Chains A and B, each alone.
Chain A
Amino acid sequence: MPKLTIDGVEVDAPDGATVLQACQLAGKEVPHFCFHERLSVAGNCRMCLVEMERAPKPIASCAMPAGEGMVITTDSDTVRQARRGVMEFLLINHPLDCPICDQGGECDLQDQAVAYGGDRTRYEENKRAVTDKSMGPLVNTVMTRCIHCTRCVRFTTEIAGVSEIGMLGRGEHAEISSYLERSLTSELSANIIDLCPVGALTSKPYAFAARPWELKKAESVDVLDAVGASIRVDARGASVLRVVPRLHENVNEEWISDKTRFACDGLRRQRLDQPYVRRGEKLEPATWDEAFGAIGERIAASDGKRIAAIAGDLCDGESMLALKDLMGKLGSPHLDCRQDGAKVDANVRASYLLNSSIAGLETADAVLLIGTDPRREAPLVNLRLRRAWLEGGAEIGVVGPARDLNYPVTALGAGTDTLTALKDGKIAFLETLKNAERPALILGMGALARSDGAAILAVAREIADLTGMISADWNGFNVLHTAAARVGGLDLGIVPGAGGKDVPSILDAATNGEMDIVYLLGADEIDMSRFGDAFVVYQGHHGDAGAHRADVILPGAAYTEKHGTYVNTEGRVQLGRPAVPPVGEAKEDWKILRALSDVLGHKLPYDTLGDVRSAMVAANPVFDEIDIVSKAEWAPFGTAGALGEAAFELPIDDFYLTDPISRASVTMAACSRELSGGTEKGTGTNG
């Protein structure tokens, strides 16, 4: 721990820190452009100059390791003059186009020019102009504004793991471009928009939409995958204009996936904004009373045993609890939150969590992926695995289809036979796991969402025990979910009660005419043709598969429009907050169920959000611990049994179209057209 004196104040800097970081520790702000604490040091903008005792000239503080006894001055005349000089050079070729630049108001260069910029120029020659580059459907470029900090190059290469952008030419002629202006193929590509300190890289879908100071900002969490990234939802009036990341070191650091960021235009399309009731062939607009009446009639004529409910992938905990309570009152045991039929065991929490924690995966030194493609299922988990490989040299083996994950993997085999062979020690990777200090496995929905899922779960558990994945301070047994609602659903026990049916059995029963009513709470990822003659109630926010099949539609709120509790794949309970009100007559989902219960004569015992949340805590105390990951007890789970022959199939084919919101998004459709399936081609070297 070197001790430095910064502007007369002594600070202890952590080992490996730079002078710039030490200055920040001392509470001194050092202007900088190219330095970013999560990227390698480039030291090319020179904005971070400070004075160091006994150095003949100012030093670039971002590139200078903090050393014992250094005496640093950050606000002398020399320093200020040096920074003014650097700023003058940066501005020589930077256009004066702030009034038409989307970065305006949140631009590092603009902010720092206020402090160090001159109010007139001494430069009379022509400014340089650079042609704009195409980088795909998400990133807009105005390359004349680029100050060549290379943050974008370092991010794509180091964090995203796709070496696709570079700095071409040199000096006056240096330009940032992707190879032949091909589209970026990373699921994390749009983070370069946030990283770019100027307006060279801006958001294409959000181009010229608003100024940052006009936006109302809500701090929330993402629900488009099971990671639960911290986001800020920026809205103007009733529409969500953009989603940007918030810092959460343990979940998303400061990145989000392109879907999280850009699916938000889907929130304005295909919305269910009023109740509908099917009359004959047609769904006709109705009032809430009519819709509730229609449901009431059918329920009165039926019996609890012939009523089922399925909770979808984007549901908040509040509405799922209300659904469970209502089904209980109606006497129905047929309840499930596992649309894909995943055979996860709701009784043992450790059996369905990513126990290593997302941040913890970075420290794993051997990882076995089973039926999962983390790059498309959870890009933010994938980048942790990439870091485990890059920085810790982790060895990663894959059972199931081995796609390009942006780090090297060993393909071990296709399906269950490989898994058995591995368990029996017939595959050398078992030794790798055994010899590792922190071995881990990640079980994906490709392995669990099949009829032999419970047996696969048991085998995975055996492998975990066999290879020493569970110890006092490490649990390497991980399940990677794809649905934001899944862990919360399991925590709340949204699974069949005694004698109840799970999703595949509900579908079978409905097909055979043994189910009168099916209540879909935002459930769209099931085969709607299998509901036969059942009366289908769809409560949700988008006119997707479920709404098309429905007999009654109850318009709910999307995640940006309601208070909601979500539990991410590592078991972290997080709160989503509304940025805008629900559209039209739509209501927050738990309130709809509460109102319906009243009509049905089974009034649910909560009237306020606080009441529901207390009921959730009563149902499972984990809901009392917001943003905390507590260790789940290791207990027996899984059911040993016969394994099927089929190879694992990955749950996500098209990263950009996975849920009703992204399917309604024009931006995601463009990405899908341009990038999905084109992934292999895009990174190849034979174009």
Chain B
Amino acid sequence: MSGTSTSKRPFVFTADNKVLAEAAITHYPADRSRSAVMPLLDIAQRQNRGWVSHEIVEYVAEYLDMPVIRVLEVATFYSMYNLKPVAKNFVQICRTTPCWLRGSDDLVKAFRDFAGCGIGETSTDGAFTMIEVECLGACCNSPMVQINDDYYEDLTPERFTKILRTLKEGKTPDPGPQSTRSGSEPVGGLTSLTSVGGDD
């Protein structure tokens, strides 16, 4: 883990996040409130522009009255906690076999052409960070990436570049399959269950 918090002020939950945190704690038995460590880290990560600093680890430890090393163990175990600062647009590209067979390498190249950086790097303009992840469970719409909380599926280098361009303009492109199909329907149109509640 490197880097310290970007802000000089010590980390504390905002009023809204405090409400969320307290709600998360109530999901566990009163004497097991430490179980809330994962939701709390997530809330804190969102508040801290997408990454968990040492300050946050210590804050959450104090919040839940648990040893700080135990919180750090959790934060380092799960890949969804970022332990280094990330850009506003955090791109997680799936390169597991199905996505790879369907062209994830081309997406990495497209990203490099557009943002000027590769896997594990942040673009010089600070707009994009890309990391590689394992299968995100959307193989039937491969290749795909996750950007912040959204999935973008059925990508081609062109569609991906268009998404990146839209993001750079500060807008949010529509998530989901970028092809014409809806969800993970067959690409060539429906072959069965063609009508809802139909007679056939």
Q: Which residues of A contact B (CB under 8 A)?
A: 157, 163-170, 178-180, 685-687
Contact = CB atoms under 8 A, between A and B. Distances in A.
Nearest to A165: B69
Contacts of B54: 180
Given A685-B58, A685-B61, A179 B77 contact: no
11 contacts: A163-B69, A164-B69, A166-B73, A169-B76, A170-B77, A180-B54, A685-B58, A685-B61, A685-B62, A686-B58, A686-B62
Interface string B50-78: 00001000100110000111101100110
A169 B77 contact: yes
Nearest to A167: B73
Contacts of B70: 163, 166
Contacts of A165: 69
6 shortest A-B CB distances, which residue pairs? Answer: A163-B67, A166-B69, A168-B76, A166-B73, A179-B69, A685-B58
Contacts of B58: 685-687
Nearest to A157: B67
A484 B37 CA distance: 46
B60 to A, nearest CB: 10
Interface in B23-65: 54, 58, 61-62
Given A685-B58, A685-B62, A686-B58, A178 B69 contact: yes
Interface in B129-180: none
A170 B62 CA distance: 24
B62 A179 contact: no
Given A685-B62, A686-B58, A687-B58, A170 B67 contact: no
Contacts of B77: 168-170
Contacts of B73: 166-168
Contacts of A686: 58, 62
A170 B76 contact: yes
Interface residues of B, number: 12
Nearest to B66: A163
A242 B76 CA distance: 37
Contacts of B69: 163-166, 178-179
Nearest to B78: A170
B72 A179 contact: yes
Contacts of A178: 69
Contacts of B62: 685-686
A168 B77 CA distance: 7
Contacts of A166: 69-70, 72-73
A235 B81 CA distance: 50
A164 B72 contact: no
B68 A685 contact: yes
Nearest to A180: B54
Interface string B3-36: 0000000000000000000000000000000000
Contacts of B68: 179, 685
A164 B67 contact: yes
A11 B72 CA distance: 44
A535 B72 CA distance: 61
> B interface, by DSSP: helix, strand, loop or mixed?
helix
Nearest to A169: B76
Nearest to B61: A685
Nearest to B77: A170
A395 to B, nearest CB: 17
A356 B77 CA distance: 44
Given A164-B67, A180-B54, 13 more contacts: A163-B70, A164-B69, A165-B69, A166-B72, A166-B73, A169-B76, A169-B77, A170-B77, A178-B69, A179-B69, A685-B58, A685-B68, A686-B62
Taking each of B62, B67, B69, B77, which has the highest tally of chain A beta carbons within 10 Å of its own beta carbon?
Answer: B69
Contacts of A685: 58, 61-62, 68
B80 to A, nearest CB: 13
B37 to A, nearest CB: 13
A615 to B, nearest CB: 54
Taking each of B61, B62, B72, B73, which has the highest tally of chain A beta carbons within 10 Å of its own beta carbon?
Answer: B73
A195 to B, nearest CB: 18
A36 B70 CA distance: 21
Contacts of A179: 68-69, 72
Contacts of B61: 685
A167 B72 CA distance: 9
A164 B67 CA distance: 7
Interface in B66-108: 67-70, 72-73, 76-77
A265 to B, nearest CB: 30
B72 to A, nearest CB: 6
Nearest to B65: A685
A686 B72 CA distance: 14
Contacts of A167: 73
A437 B58 CA distance: 40
A164 B76 CA distance: 15
Contacts of A687: 58
B57 to A, nearest CB: 8
Contacts of A180: 54
A685 B77 CA distance: 20
A164 B69 CA distance: 6
A169 B79 CA distance: 9
Contacts of A169: 76-77
A112 B143 CA distance: 47
A610 to B, nearest CB: 54
Nearest to B10: A686
B16 to A, nearest CB: 24
Nearest to A164: B69
A166 B77 CA distance: 11
A172 to B, nearest CB: 13
B38 to A, nearest CB: 14
A166 B67 CA distance: 10
Nearest to A687: B58
Contacts of A163: 67, 69-70
A170 B74 CA distance: 10
Taking each of A166, A178, A686, A687, which has the highest tally of chain B beta carbons within 10 Å of its own beta carbon?
Answer: A166
Contacts of A170: 76-77
A178 B68 CA distance: 10
A164 B71 CA distance: 11
A685 B66 CA distance: 10
B3 to A, nearest CB: 13
A687 B68 CA distance: 11
B83 to A, nearest CB: 10
B135 to A, nearest CB: 16
B40 to A, nearest CB: 14
A163 B54 CA distance: 17
Nearest to A170: B77
A302 B77 CA distance: 76
B168 to A, nearest CB: 32
A165 B58 CA distance: 15
B77 to A, nearest CB: 5
Nearest to B69: A166
A179 B75 CA distance: 12
Contacts of B76: 168-170
Contacts of B67: 157, 163-164
B34 to A, nearest CB: 12
B88 to A, nearest CB: 26
A157 B70 CA distance: 10
A179 B68 CA distance: 7
A166 B72 CA distance: 8
A342 to B, nearest CB: 37
A178 B54 CA distance: 14
A168 B70 CA distance: 9
A522 to B, nearest CB: 41
A167 B70 CA distance: 9
Nearest to B58: A685
A180 to B, nearest CB: 7
A280 B43 CA distance: 76
A167 B73 CA distance: 6
B82 to A, nearest CB: 14
A165 B73 CA distance: 10
Contacts of A157: 67
